[in-house]
Structure 1
Amino acid sequence: MRYPIAIEIGTETTALGVVVPDLPGCFSAGDTLDEAVAGAEEAAAAWIDAALDAGHAIPAPSSLDAIRQNPDHAGWAFGVITLDAALLDDTVERVNITLPRRVLKRLDALEWMAGESRSGYIAHLTLEERRRDE
């Protein structure tokens, strides 16, 4: 999945700025172009993940030409970032994990008290931990 980006060239005293116009509020900055673009890829992945967690639709990428014609980005440079399509993949996948019995016993007690399945409880904990990190 490729999203166009607009790049505001920095100066000796300011960093380069990168925005992903199709993802409102998604931006990055860096002292080098490589840093700024890598930051934009990370920001876009986090934006999409948060939007999916909130049940929002993910905007389709615009054409690079459409972004270039936006007067808000006059004088900027343009490019694209490539995001792993797996970011949008909610296909259920069966996994096998290994845990000590005492940990598994605690996990089962917690998931029972939460009224969830073991898999559901692990997924719930993972998503909650991600929200705390943000």
Structure 2
Amino acid sequence: MRYIAFIHKEPDSVYGVSFPDVPGCISAGDTIDEAVRNGVEALSGHIRMLEADGDPVPAPRDFDAIMSDPDLAEDRDSAMTTAIPLVRDRGSNTRINVSLDLGLLEAIDAAARERGQTRSAFLASAARREIVD
């Protein structure tokens, strides 16, 4: 699931991120890439808080609906748009069975060791990066 985000940049400021379908959810970053990464975390945290409070989670609208919404005209003005994935952290790990080529598995294990990570942590980190990009 992805939510449309507006990214604004004013002179002498960071990139600001807002989500038209998730009022109050905002983030920022020094670069667009950092703003998007921070937006993923902000969206996940905001949705987690809504769920914890028993509030409904707003459904994401598609790009055309956001762009044609007259109530968002001012927010869209000079904004870049992007789709930010909702990556929910459930707070619990689940064991899975995955098949990989042996050579790829060896490369994964070597890269994980170089970074001081477990295989699972390395794969989770790589998956998050792939989902966000």
* Greater gyration radius: 1
Query: Could you say whether these structures have the same fold, taking a TM-score greater than 0.5 normalized by the shorter chain as the test?
Result: yes
Q: Does 1:71 align with 2:73?
A: yes
Q: Which blocks of at least 5 consecutive residues in structure 1 are unaligned?
A: 96-134
Alpha-carbon distance, 1:56 to partner: 0.8
Partner residue of 1:82? 85
Q: Which blocks of at least 5 consecutive residues in structure 2 are unaligned?
A: 96-133
- Secondary structure of 1:14's counterpart equals coil
Q: How does the TM-score come out when normalised to structure 1?
A: 0.59
Q: Does 1:8 align with 2:11?
A: no
Alpha-carbon distance, 1:29 to partner: 0.9
AA partner of residue 47 (structure 2) = I
Output the CA distance in 1 between the equivalents of 2:79 and 2:9: 7
Q: How does the TM-score come out when normalised to structure 2?
A: 0.60
Aligned residues: 91
Alpha-carbon distance, 1:94 to partner: 9.4
Identity, % of aligned pairs?
36
Moved over 4 A (4+): none
Contact 1:15 1:29 in 2 (8 A): yes
Alpha-carbon distance, 1:22 to partner: 0.8
What is the aligned-residue RMSD (CA, Å)?
A: 2.5
Alpha-carbon distance, 1:66 to partner: 2.4
Q: Does 1:62 align with 2:55?
A: no
Alpha-carbon distance, 1:75 to partner: 1.6
Contact 1:22 1:61 in 2 (8 A): yes
Output the CA distance in 2 between the equivalents of 1:30 and 1:75: 17
Alpha-carbon distance, 1:15 to partner: 0.6
- Listed as ranges, the matches of 1:97-108 within 5 Å are none
Contact 1:51 1:57 in 2 (8 A): yes
Output the CA distance in 2 between the equivalents of 1:60 and 1:82: 13
Alpha-carbon distance, 1:47 to partner: 0.6
